[in-house]
Chains A and B, each alone.
Chain A
């Protein structure tokens, strides 16, 4: 159990997917203008990333490795992630059309989020078993969502602040992101996973 906790802390905080691994930066800058949209996107990404981690583990373990097809890993994972996103969209639409209308816009955006491909590849590289793959995907996505929400909160406050014209817009957002990354360096050394 302790191993799982360390794995999750390492994935969410120490090796944060956005601020340390520099994955998913497009969504990080693009969907963080409001806390609500950042939360919606974060939850959608958490769902897709966790399910993708599980499916790619199964694919790697039962199909690619036994048949010596590991050279197809990247292209296979991309296809699986796209399929998971489409599947999630279909399921949400089926189980509740009202939910689909409310949240459907976020789902296709996730296919272009490189962290959703990066985490399953890291799972393979670190030889995780089923449980470790799932928790690593879940914790990485939680770390991603945390950064999205924190950064959205900061940007909401920045929108009301008096920023010098030269720094207004993206420049002050990048400076804020770099300060956030510096703050997260404080977690270095807690866990190496």
Chain B
């Protein structure tokens, strides 16, 4: 098993997507829901399988340059560090600021109402900081998946033959 890597040698997290449209040097892609999801007994209730609207919201663009056509199934990759950095920015920073603000308020005043208000303030400040850092990462192209190649034909079913 060979782990996918980018040109700099960093390992990538793979995903499958379908080409939806070609737009001025860019390709619009829609993620393909994994066959594992299709086999799940909660598939009808799960948000990840909630139909075309959910998938449409997750469409993304990559630069064209590989002669892709509408309907092609492709493999895209995102750097492992980018995924971790994105998780850190989106969840950990707001959460840590919320915890820090509420602990400080608890030490200073010790009243539940004030502590709760400070927690909300910390969460808001964390989200503003995340937005600023994410914008910088996005400008550097760190959050953009890259095209790795066409998806194999036998990729529709999972290893156990479920969800075909």
Contact = CB atoms under 8 A, between A and B. Distances in A.
Given A102-B82, A108-B50, A43 B143 contact: no
Contact of B112 (A95, A112, A129): A129
Contact of B87 (A85, A101, A103, A160): A103
A23 interface: no
A99 B98 contact: no
A99 B134 contact: yes
B127 A91 contact: yes
B160 A36 contact: no
Interface residues of A, number: 43
A37 interface: yes
B95 A34 contact: no
B80 A36 contact: yes
A58 interface: yes
| Chain A residues touching B, majority SS | helix
Interface in A117-144: 129-131, 134-135, 138
A98 B138 contact: yes
A108 B46 contact: yes
A37 B13 contact: yes
A103 B90 contact: yes
A46 interface: yes
B6 to A, nearest CB: 14
A34 B4 CA distance: 13
Contacts, number: 121
Interface residues of B, number: 49
Contacts of B80: 36
A39 B48 contact: no
Given A47-B94, A95-B131, A96-B135, A39 B87 contact: yes
Interface centre among A46, A85, A105 (most CB of B within 10 A): A105
B116 A54 contact: yes
Nearest to B34: A105
A109 B98 contact: no
B99 to A, nearest CB: 6
B115 A131 contact: yes
Interface of A: 30, 34, 36-37, 39-40, 43-44, 46-47, 50-51, 54, 58, 61, 85, 91-93, 95-96, 98-105, 107-109, 111-112, 129-131, 134-135, 138, 159-160, 169
15 contacts: A43-B87, A46-B92, A51-B123, A93-B57, A96-B135, A96-B143, A98-B134, A98-B138, A100-B57, A102-B83, A104-B57, A108-B47, A130-B112, A131-B102, A131-B112
Given A44-B90, A102-B78, A109-B46, 11 more contacts: A40-B84, A46-B95, A50-B95, A50-B98, A85-B47, A93-B57, A102-B86, A102-B143, A103-B83, A105-B31, A131-B115
